[in-house]
Structure 1
Amino acid sequence: MSEMRVLVVDDDFMVARIHSGYVARVPGFRVVSVAHTGADALAAVEEFDPDLVLLDIYLPDMSGLEVLKRLHHVDVLMISAARDVPTVREAMRGGAVNYLIKPFTAAALTERLQQYADTHRRLTAIGAEARQDDVDRLFGTPKSAAPMPKGLSAATCALVADTLREAGHDLSAAEAAQLTGLSRVSVRRYLEHLCAAGQAELRPRYGTAGRPEHRYRWLG
């Protein structure tokens, strides 16, 4: 596979430098340019023809979501502190290949970049036409996924899953609710679904008295 060319877009010069450093550590990826405004990002895409854009949402001249709508023939990984579900949903509808909530670690970005590279390898290996099982693997469709319970949304479930994964340790429903901005009752339903899907596990913590505290840990 040829080297992946990456454009980093962030209004904060230091953050852009940090993210560029993260990318540089991942074999097979190279930062070809950095932009700090939406207009500069659009110009850089035309000039450098990157394979992937790491795109922030909060830019000084326009929203990164608006930039996303104007980008064609280039893949976009959204990187933002915005964690509200409407924003995440709009990014998904706009065609973003992934969404990473700030602040994140180098390991978290590395995982997304490796997933992106793996998808490209699979597409190349498929050839001219894909079978349904090829498409299922590309889109991450599990062979026996737990059905999404009524009243739960995939976008919100992804937000809760990302929050649990990025925590790096177990969380209670209340702690996860504070991090996501959702209600504790709502978060608990998503956590229970993730456990049923085999992506998380329930770990009771026993105190000195009373019922044990339910805590959840990401399994992936």
Structure 2
Amino acid sequence: MIGVLVVDDDFRVARIHRSFVDRIPGFGVVGVAHTGAAALDLVRSEQPDLVLLDLYLPDMFGLDVLARLRADGQDSDVLVISAAKEADAVRGAVRSGVVNYLLKPFGFDDLRTRLEQYATQRTGMYADHNDQADIDRALTYAPRASATLPKGLSTETAQLVRNALSTAADTLSAAECADVVGISRVSARRYLEHLHATARAAVTLRYAVHGRPERRYRWIGS
């Protein structure tokens, strides 16, 4: 059972989030906090595996709570749940090592998907690794795999992209994959991103002197 601490200043919202967590197999709420100070106390006493952390708390900003936790040597994972869309908040959360960032308001399925992703990655992180592929899988959030492709993608083309990536000697960019398969770069990118979303492809960034970094894909799935 993965123990979860729910942190939200709004009592009604916290109650809803608690009910969401309790409906997801493998997860259980170990406490609810409505302030940053209460969250710090509960982390120390309950040692949750995961903290669902709101950023707008009445006594301190959520990322300050996270910084205090790390300074205290607490290693609970943190998933931010917030209405904050500002770049500074998101960037600060990522730099602080949060496992995910979920914008409010959200529904049950939104949270369930991210908690299942977390459970998958957590299992990989606590296992021994045999090779690079094992590590790539552990570092990749894997949404619940679906046999149904996203709207607009065809099974035949998906298989061609999969074959191109799985047999490539090195990583492929969307443009390189498009040349191999014979489709547009935009289409290739959609198929490759689907493979990444279902944990069958890893993504790395190649930085150039000018322009945006290039996304490179490598096959890791079965």
- Pick aligned residue for 1:195 from 190, 208, 212: 190
**Alpha-carbon distance change, 123 to 139 in structure 1, aligned in 2, over 3 angstroms:** closer
Q: Distance in 1 between matches of 2:92 and 2:188?
A: 23
Tell me, yes or no, if structure 1 residue 110 matches structure 2 residue 112: yes
Q: CA deviation at 1:120?
A: 2.1
Q: Over residues 4-54 of structure 1, what are the superposed CA-to-partner deviations in whole Å (9 max), with x where a residue is unaligned?
A: 110000000000000000000001111010000001000000011100000
- AA in 2 matched with 1:138: A
Give SS of 2:133's match. Answer: helix
Q: CA deviation at 1:69?
A: 1.4
Residue number in structure 1 paired with 2:22:
24
Q: Over residues 47-96 of structure 1, what are the superposed CA-to-partner deviations in whole Å (9 max), with x where a residue is unaligned?
A: 11100000000000100011111223110000000112221111000010
Q: CA RMSD, aligned part only?
A: 2.8
Q: Distance in 2 between matches of 1:36 and 1:146?
A: 47
Paired residues for 1:167-182 under 5 Å? none
Q: Distance in 1 between matches of 2:32 and 2:65?
A: 15
**Alpha-carbon distance change, 5 to 141 in structure 1, aligned in 2, over 3 angstroms:** closer
Give SS of 2:3's match. Answer: strand
Structure 2: 5+ residue runs without aligned partners? Answer: 143-161, 166-170, 176-185, 195-222
Residue number in structure 2 paired with 1:57:
55
Residue number in structure 2 paired with 1:140:
140
Q: CA deviation at 1:147?
A: 4.9
Q: Over residues 127-156 of structure 1, what are the superposed CA-to-partner deviations in whole Å (9 max), with x where a residue is unaligned?
A: 2x552111211222899587599xxxxxxx
Residue number in structure 1 paired with 2:125:
123
| Structure (1 or 2) with the larger CA radius of gyration | 2
Q: CA deviation at 1:195?
A: 3.4
Work out whether residues 56 and 62 of structure 2, in 8 Å CA contact, stay in contact via their aligned partners in 1.
Answer: yes
Q: What is the number of equivalent residue pairs in this alignment? A: 155
- AA in 2 matched with 1:39: A
Q: Distance in 1 between matches of 2:107 and 2:189?
A: 23
Structure 1: 5+ residue runs without aligned partners? Answer: 150-190, 200-220
Calculate the TM-score normalised by the size of structure 1.
0.63
Residue number in structure 2 paired with 1:75:
77
- Determine what percentage of the aligned residue pairs are the same residue: 49
